[in-house]
Structure 1
Amino acid sequence: MKKVLVVVDMQNDFIDGALGTKEAQAIVGNVLEKIGKYPPDCIYATRDTHENNYLETNEGRNLPVPHCIRGSEGWQIRKEVQEAMPHAVIVDKPSFASLELADLLCRENEREELEIELVGLCTDICVVSNALLLKARLPETRISVDPACCAGVTPESHEAALLTMKMCQIGMNVDLV
């Protein structure tokens, strides 16, 4: 059994940029500690990636806050997080969940049975979307999140997303690995 970590959207815009929150800032240390518990070749990361026409997209019309524009400072993975995972496989994603990440992990699971843990931002949008997509693609794989390494748009929406994931048989890790 190979344990892999998926670090979801630990980008400047979600931490202290356009969509940053104090809750997101508060989990950075926990995420760094979590990354340190995994072998370097067992870490994947997603990067929310939008183009300059973001406001013209469906997401942009529903969330009219430009963020994670390719090449911008806000698009970058937080410096200390990036430095903690120099060998991570980074997947740029144009939406909430990554089909590419799911495909990569499905192929990896064919070679060796996986256990997948997710951490990052935002619990109620991209973490839950990726967790449920992975669960749909890998229904027999243990998939979990660490609530202490995730933050939502609001504390209430964070808790609601955790409940949704629990109902869909996503495990909750209550301690750091």
Structure 2
Amino acid sequence: MKRLLAVVDMQKDFIDGALGTKEAEAIVPAVRERIKEYLTAGDEVVFTLDTHEKDYMETMEGRKLPVPHCIRGTEGWELDSCLKDMPGKRFEKHTFGSMELAAYIKAGGYDRIELIGLCTDICVISNAMVIKAEVPETEICVRAGCCAGVTPKSHENALNAMKMCHIDVI
């Protein structure tokens, strides 16, 4: 079985920076362990990086979420310190979901895709849905204990929405 682990936006600004939460901080050890399990099994791991430029506040997202974050080249844009040296292809994305990641997955012929990371209710769900649209017959799952949302309630709402779209929540 060909598996891929997609680690979504485990960046400093979402963990303990501009948009960090205690729930995001709490999942870091579990995320690290899950990555190690995939690597030990010889499976592929990829990372997404939310990536904004200095003009963030002039973008649609900046107007709707006026908190500069994940500005390319800043400390907040970096993967968490315990993850940044881990091997795996990086996908910079300038919006919630990565079309580049979805195309990569489609071309890779994977049997199972697992998503973990931040934020469940924005970028995890967006990437899960984009991937589901690209490879509708591929098993896609989200590991709830390795994700955190903007709030615990929005995290649960996103997990329930993904279940309704045939994305397994484990």
Task: Please indicate the TM-score interval, normalised by the length of the shorter structure.
Answer: over 0.9
Q: Which runs of 5+ in 2 are unaligned?
A: none
| Structure 1 runs, 4 residues or longer, greater than 4 Å off | none
Letter in 2 for 1:16: D
Partner in structure 2 of residue 67 of structure 1: 69
Matched position secondary structure for 2:67: coil
Q: Which runs of 5+ in 1 are unaligned?
A: none
Once residues 125 and 44 of structure 2 are traced to their aligned partners in structure 1, the CA distance between those partners, rounded to angstroms, is 20
Once residues 111 and 131 of structure 2 are traced to their aligned partners in structure 1, the CA distance between those partners, rounded to angstroms, is 11
Cα deviation for residue 41 of structure 1 reads 5.6
Partner in structure 2 of residue 35 of structure 1: 35
| 1:115 matched to 2:112 | yes
Superposed CA deviations along residues 116-152 of structure 1, whole A, max 9, x for unmatched, are 0000000000000000100010000000000000000
Once residues 58 and 93 of structure 1 are traced to their aligned partners in structure 2, the CA distance between those partners, rounded to angstroms, is 15
* Residue of 138, 142, 150 corresponding to 2:139: 142
* Kept in 1: contact 2:8–2:47 (CA 8 A): yes
Cα deviation for residue 21 of structure 1 reads 0.2
* Kept in 2: contact 1:49–1:94 (CA 8 A): yes
Partner in structure 2 of residue 88 of structure 1: 88
Superposed CA deviations along residues 17-58 of structure 1, whole A, max 9, x for unmatched, are 000000000000110110011126600100000000000000
Cα deviation for residue 81 of structure 1 reads 1.3
Partner in structure 1 of residue 19 of structure 2: 19
Cα deviation for residue 79 of structure 1 reads 1.2
Letter in 1 for 2:46: Y
Once residues 146 and 107 of structure 1 are traced to their aligned partners in structure 2, the CA distance between those partners, rounded to angstroms, is 23
| 1:166 matched to 2:163 | yes
Cα deviation for residue 114 of structure 1 reads 2.4
Q: Percent identity between the aligned chains?
A: 57
Partner in structure 2 of residue 133 of structure 1: 130
Partner in structure 1 of residue 106 of structure 2: 106
The Cα RMSD (Å) is 0.9
Letter in 2 for 1:70: R
Cα deviation for residue 3 of structure 1 reads 1.0
